[in-house]
Amino acid sequence: MRILFIGDVVGSPGREMLHTFLPQLKRKYQPTLTIVNGENAAGGKGITEKIAKSFFESGVHVITLGNHTWDQKHIGDYLDQASNIIRPANYPAGAPGSGYALLTINQYKVAVMSLQGRTFLPALDCPFRKAEALLGEIYEHTRIIFVDFHAEATSEKEAMGWFLDGKVSAVVGTHTHVQTADERLLPQKTAYMTDVGMTGPRNAILGMKKESILYRFLTGMPSRFEVAEKSPAQVNGVLISVDPHTGLADDIMRIAIDDDHPFTEEG
């Protein structure tokens, strides 16, 4: 079983790159399951029902979210209706939507879980304890479990990887928008990567226009962050191979597509 995960899609440049390259990536790698983090898809803040549906129409199976989950109006209503778009599971009880999705693909049941870190982010319930509690439910259905850990601190992400090693198929990080080069199989065969990176504007600062962010750093004054619509764009992702019988990973590979790394369907 192959799982293709695309890192944080930012604004219209990210959406365009996803719609352009996802069909090509699927032809080349033949993933069984395709997951996208879409929490920045609507102008860099949140996602709308319309955008989510366009992702599903493009062949995405599950959309994960993060700290910008609630930035778009009425998204809570949609999360209550759709089972394949998930917000972080460690939001307090009563939040709309679900923290994990359970689906059947090629006769195998697969779970996708979303968690959010607490270091340098809003205080939510403990993601470690929440993951532990949810695994008790999920194990009744499957051992193929993919975890998107949306967190700021590298240490917190690494801690989650070690905490879940051997308990889930993969723990990959999102949120910081910079792809790391530490993809590996942990000793108990859980695939791990600190941050998958970003799909969106490349000549920018985390997908946003450079000028407004530089202004804030130089002056300490607030400024409005806007997606760098005219920048060349990139696709960041990861491909993970999982034994469907054990739920453990046997390979993980980074994906980067940009002007310096053009995509080819050969090889």
> Does pLDDT of 191 surpass 70?
yes
Residues 203-223 have pLDDT tens digits of 999 999 999 999 999 999 999
- Positive or negative, the CA dihedral 182, 127, 115, 134 is positive
68 is catalytic: yes
- Predicted local distance difference test score (pLDDT) of residue 263: 92
- Comparing CA positions, the residue from 255, 249, 260, 251 lying closest to residue 237 is 255
Residues 68-98 have pLDDT tens digits of 999 999 999 999 999 999 999 999 999 999 9
Which of 61, 68, 150, 175 is an active site residue?
A: 68
Residues 146-160 have pLDDT tens digits of 999 999 999 999 999
> Does pLDDT of 267 surpass 80?
no
- Predicted local distance difference test score (pLDDT) of residue 265: 82
Q: What is the mean pLDDT of the chain?
A: 96
- Predicted local distance difference test score (pLDDT) of residue 182: 98
Q: Which pTM does this prediction carry?
A: 0.96
> Does pLDDT of 172 surpass 90?
yes
Q: Is 151 exposed, middle or buried (0-12, 13-18, 19+ CB in 10 A)?
A: buried
> Does pLDDT of 266 surpass 90?
no
Residue 213 parent element (H or E):
helix 210-219
Neighbours of 23 (CB within 10 A): 12
> Does pLDDT of 239 surpass 70?
yes
Q: How far apart are CA 185 and CA 191, in angstroms?
A: 5
Q: Is 221 exposed, middle or buried (0-12, 13-18, 19+ CB in 10 A)?
A: exposed
Residue 127 · residue 135 · CB < 8 Å = no
% of the chain surpassing 90 pLDDT = 97
Residues 177-187 have pLDDT tens digits of 999 999 999 99
DSSP assignment string, 132-167: HHHHHHHTTT-S-EEEEEE-S-HHHHHHHHHHHTTT
What's the residue count for the chain?
Answer: 267
